[in-house]
């Protein structure tokens, strides 16, 4: 092969490579685009609460195979489930995403909600909580849970009807599992603290409306919360636009009927059947 042939051959290979990259990018863009139009349910919550176990359990209702065990997730699990569970004849595909629990991923989670799933397609959020007192009593546990709830509600409550949450109080099979009303009260008290700290900071949008310069983003969030929680009142989940349901269960013991029903109700309400 002479020099000219070698140059021509490398040019040809280069061109093929460019075409291949273009083809792959184009196709993955298309599949992302169609995925992001699918109505979606999101599973979030602190780490080790049982999110991935629930994700696979829900998939197994659709007769998909369960993995024998889960490890702490570093990446989201992103798939499809057929809903409603209770009526196979009218099932349609819904996207379901299990997002890892570490607080350090919160910015990524917000990006996923706002830019990938989009609030329009988000049909509900399952917030999984490990109900064992062993877990709840860990230092800063409740605070970390409510920080995440606060961050996500600060986005979802911007919608006129908010987004519905299912607080899936998991691991009720454990002997030290706390009753659901106790968990709800702990979360409510902690949320109240976060909200009032936020609103009493000086700046615009909160209760103490002075003209210090604050970022616009902070101001909108504070304005939103000042409308949700009237001055001198304590936060209650019932004040939110989205429907907030607390339901006990256990993925391990297969006690997830209440949670299945919650999905089915959302799907019927969604009207997309
Ligand atoms: N006792 C009990 N254990 C459970 C239950 N559900 C899940 N687990 C266990 O809890 C551990 C954590 O479960 P995962 O599903 O991996 O938790 P995760 O929320 O996905 O955790 P990260 O990915 O780290 O955020 C595993 O050992 C599960 O077997 C339950 O209902 N009861
Ligand atoms: Mg996981």
Nearest CA to ligand 1 atom 32: 171
Q: Looking at ligand 1, which atom is closest to the CA of residue 69?
A: 29
Pocket test residue of 53, 66, 96, 258 for ligand 1, highest count of atoms within 8 A of CB: 53
β strands within 71-203, DSSP E? 77-83, 92-98, 122-130, 165-170
Number of alpha carbons in the 13 Å side-chain half-sphere of residue 17: 6
Q: How high is the pLDDT of residue 204? A: 57
The three-class DSSP label of residue 96 is strand
Q: What ligand is nearest to the CA atom of residue 100?
A: 1
Give the number of other Cβ atoms within 10 Å of residue 123's Cβ: 22
Q: How high is the pLDDT of residue 13? A: 87
Q: How high is the pLDDT of residue 185? A: 97
Lowest mean pLDDT among 66-80, 215-229, 249-263: 66-80
Q: So what's the architecture of 39-270 in CATH?
A: 3-Layer(aba) Sandwich (3.40)
Sheet with 244-248: strands ordered across: 77-83, 92-98, 40-45, 122-130, 165-170, 244-248
What tens digit of pLDDT does each residue of 130-163 get? Answer: 999 999 999 899 999 999 999 999 999 999 999 9
Write down the domain spans for the chain: 39-270
Concatenated DSSP letters of 193-242: HHHHHHHHSSBSSSSSB------HHHHHHHHHHHHHS-TT----GGGSSS
Q: Ligand 1: residues within 6 Å at CB?
A: 47-53, 70, 72-73, 100-101, 128, 170-171, 173-174, 250-252
Q: Taking each helix axis as running N to C, give the angle between helix 180-200 and helix 216-228, from 0 to 180 degrees, rounded to the nearest 10.
A: 130
Q: What ligand is nearest to the CA atom of residue 131?
A: 1
Q: How high is the pLDDT of residue 74? A: 79
210 has pLDDT over 80: no
């Amino acid at each position: 092969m002479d020099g000219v042939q070698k140059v021509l051959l490398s040019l040809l290979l280069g061109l093929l490579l460019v075409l291949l990259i273009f083809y792959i990018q184009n196709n993955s863009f298309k599949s992302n685009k169609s995925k992001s139009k699918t109505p979606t349910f999101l599973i979030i919550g602190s780490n080790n609460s049982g999110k991935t176990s629930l994700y696979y359990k829900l998939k197994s209702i659709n007769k998909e195979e369960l993995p024998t065990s889960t490890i702490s997730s570093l990446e989201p699990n992103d798939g499809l489930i057929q809903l409603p569970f209770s009526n196979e004849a009218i099932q349609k595909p819904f996207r379901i995403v299990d997002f890892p629990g570490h607080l350090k991923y919160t910015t990524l989670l917000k990006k996923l909600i706002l830019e990938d799933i989009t609030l329009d397609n988000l049909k509900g959020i399952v917030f999984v909580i490990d109900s064992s007192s062993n877990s709840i009593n860990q230092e800063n546990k409740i605070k970390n849970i409510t920080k995440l709830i606060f961050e996500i509600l600060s986005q979802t409550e911007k919608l006129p009807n908010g987004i519905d949450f299912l607080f899936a109080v998991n691991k009720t099979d454990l002997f030290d599992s706390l009753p659901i009303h106790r968990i709800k009260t702990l979360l409510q008290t902690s949320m109240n603290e976060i909200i009032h700290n936020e609103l009493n900071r000086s700046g615009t949008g909160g209760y103490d409306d002075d003209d210090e310069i604050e970022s616009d983003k902070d101001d909108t969030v504070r304005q939103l919360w000042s409308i949700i929680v009237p001055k001198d009142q304590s936060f209650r989940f019932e004040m939110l636009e989205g429907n907030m349901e607390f339901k006990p269960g256990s993925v391990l013991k297969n006690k997830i009927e209440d949670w299945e029903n919650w999905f089915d109700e959302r799907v019927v309400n969604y009207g997309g059947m």
